[in-house]
Amino acid sequence: MLIIGIDPGSNTGVAVYDEGRLVRLMTVEPMHIGAILAGHSPERVIFEDSRLQTHTWTQAKTRAAALKMARNVGEVDAWCRLIVAECEKLGIPAHGISPKRKGAKLDAAQFEAATGWTGSSNEHTRDAAMVAFPYRRGT
């Protein structure tokens, strides 16, 4: 069973689990999400869905910073809609997980301890992998 986890953003993290084992991490531009999904034909997609949480974790210190944060969150919300649309088009079951439910960000050492992954990673690919981690075996 092939499961894909996605952390949407301007640098979108993608994690691929095959039969419960993490086999690939990649960072892509959001416009390539559809091609990644079509090329892998996963049984399920799990993505970090910013729309499921209203809290933004960071307090803006200025109006300009608040506007930039709002714009960034709006972009991620649009990429979440793109993931859902691409999955629907391809007939792939997909669901979002709130950032809070995904859990805290892991550094490389914590990530290796949790997943066994010894290859390179970045915060986006680690987040993608952790979004899908509980579902890696299809449950």
pLDDT at 62: 73
Residues of the chain above pLDDT 70, percent: 84
Helix (DSSP H) and strand (DSSP E) numbers for the chain: 5, 5
pLDDT at 86: 95
How far apart, in Å, are the Cα atoms of 12 and each of 19, 55, 76, 86, 137? 23, 21, 10, 15, 23
Lateral strand order in the sheet of 94-97? 21-28, 12-18, 2-7, 44-48, 94-97
Q: Is the pLDDT of residue 28 over 90?
A: yes
pLDDT at 98: 87
What DSSP designation does 5 have? E
Look up the pTM and report it: 0.86
pLDDT at 103: 80
Higher pLDDT, 56 or 62: 62
Length of the chain: 139
The number of C-alpha atoms within 13 Å of 11 and in the hemisphere containing its C-beta is 10
Residues of the chain above pLDDT 90, percent: 68
Q: Is the pLDDT of residue 65 over 90?
A: no
Q: Do residues 45 and 78 make contact, with C-beta atoms less than 8 angstroms apart? A: no
Tell me the per-residue pLDDT of 67-121, one tens digit each, with 9 for 90 and over: 556 556 556 788 899 999 999 999 999 999 988 888 889 999 999 999 999 999 9
pLDDT, average across residues 52-63? 65
Q: Is the pLDDT of residue 2 over 70?
A: yes
pLDDT at 55: 58
What distance in Å separates the CA atoms of residue 128 and residue 118, rounded to the nearest whole number?
16
